[in-house]
Amino acid sequence: MRTSAVPSRSLLLLALLAWTLLPISVLVFSSFGDSWFYPHLLPTNWTTAAWREFVSDRRLLRALLTSLWLALLTGGAASIVGFEIGRRVSRIPVPLRYFAMAAAFVPVAAPPLALGIGLQYFVLRAGLGGTLIGVWLAHSVVAIGYTTVYFIGAFAVFDHRVEEEARSLGASPLVTLARVTLPLHQRQLAEALLLGFLVSWAQVPLTLLIGQGAVESLATSVMSYVHAGQDHLASVAGLLLALPGLVLMGVVGSSIGRFTVATV
């Protein structure tokens, strides 16, 4: 039984790996392929013209930098705000805690388009429509929902007696937060920052609705290339859009592995 289970498990892992890498492989082939038509499985000619055009296009580079700034600022704000909300919600009595958890889950569960329409009214009233700050605020609403849910779970298994012990030794609430709580949640804060980064990095509906076409990110550039039929540039931008997620998932996976080994 065990010998037969090993090959089937290996086949399942290989199938999952192929299913995961297939879309990335198509993007790689399309970005470097000059002509790729049926029934050829691979491009017949290879070129770097699409990558050279991407590098030379200042509008695309600005979109890439805009996405980086938005994602970094959103991830930073989401990790800090989500940490504080999760820490306070964990101390609320159980009936009210469930209500707070449901409220935090609304931005996560709501469709981005519906959420964007609701946020657009407030952003326009604040005079931030079509601005980078307005788009950042909209991205942060969704990202904070994710990180709040994450930290509610993190603090649900946190031993608050550590904080109480620090307070009993004379530490102020601010010192307890800076010297005890934050150091014990360094890994969670880093993961929340990465989570907020990824939420903003691939965000399209909110960027289009709140940015009103004036704020162009890498994700919206991919959509415009696809609609314009520029498959090669769309593949290049799509690869760059997928790269941070793959890298960050690898970093988080390795850190979790090291943390698990350390705790065991």
What would the pLDDT profile of 31-64 be if each residue is shown by its tens digit?
Answer: 887 777 777 777 777 888 888 888 887 888 888 8
Tell me the C-alpha distance between 207 and 241, whole Å. 15
What would the pLDDT profile of 139-165 be if each residue is shown by its tens digit?
Answer: 999 999 999 989 988 888 888 888 888
Whether pLDDT at 137 is above 70: yes
- Sequence spans of domains, the chain: 67-219
What would the pLDDT profile of 56-75 be if each residue is shown by its tens digit?
Answer: 878 888 888 999 999 999 99
Which has the higher per-residue pLDDT, 135 or 25? 135
Per the prediction, the chain carries an average pLDDT of: 82
Predicted local confidence at residue 263, as pLDDT: 42
Topology of domain 67-219, CATH: MetI-like fold (1.10.3720)
Residue recorded with tokens 């509906």: 205
Predicted local confidence at residue 6, as pLDDT: 57
Predicted local confidence at residue 253, as pLDDT: 60
Name, in order, each residue with C-beta under 8 angstroms of 91's C-beta and a sequence gap of 6 or more: 160
Tell me the C-alpha distance between 163 and 182, whole Å. 11
Please tell me what DSSP assigns to residue 46: E
45-46 and 33-35 strand pairing: antiparallel
Cα–Cα nearest to 88, from 75, 103, 100 = 100
Predicted local confidence at residue 70, as pLDDT: 93
Which has the higher per-residue pLDDT, 131 or 5? 131
Whether pLDDT at 79 is above 50: yes
